[in-house]
Amino acid sequence: MCGSLDAATALFHSLSDGTRLAILRRLAIGEARVVDLTGELGLAQSTVSAHLACLRDCGLVDFRAQGRASVYRLARPELLEMFRAAEAVLEATGNAVALCPNYGHPDQKKIAR
């Protein structure tokens, strides 16, 4: 039991930062290089890289080499379902937030892969 709580704690810790949520939200749309994320989020490369390392360590994002760049993507499409569930809870409490940019998107399964 404790091991599963430790894993859950690590997962929710990785999702507890607004920058990491913004990165995951962007990657829900599709793959991105670090330079793309820095430009879109308005953050320093070192900041984005540190947050990506955390998300990688938790198994939430994956990357592939493309030349000298790394291209990141969601490693777990289940994150989209988790975001939808979180949105439902937030809406029920009167704090609606759009965590998943693909909510209701007809190609959401294709995008998440």
pLDDT tens by residue, 51-106: 999 999 989 999 999 999 999 999 998 998 988 888 888 888 877 666 655 544 44
- How high is the pLDDT of residue 26? 94
Q: In what order do the strands lie in the sheet with 61-66?
A: 32-33, 69-74, 61-66
Residues listed for the chain? 113
Say if residues 52 and 36 touch (Cβ distance below 8 Å). Answer: no
pLDDT of 45 above 90: yes
**Average pLDDT for 13-17:** 89
Say if residues 88 and 12 touch (Cβ distance below 8 Å). Answer: no
Say if residues 27 and 72 touch (Cβ distance below 8 Å). Answer: yes
- How high is the pLDDT of residue 3? 58
Residue that has been written with the tokens 């949520």 in this structure: 21
**Average pLDDT for 26-40:** 95
Largest Cα separation within the chain, whole Å, is 46
Alpha helices in the chain, H assignment, sequence order: 2-14, 18-29, 34-41, 45-57, 78-92, 108-112
- How high is the pLDDT of residue 88? 87
Structural domains of the chain, with CATH: 2-112 (1.10.10.10)
Residue with more model confidence, 35 or 104: 35
- How high is the pLDDT of residue 48? 97
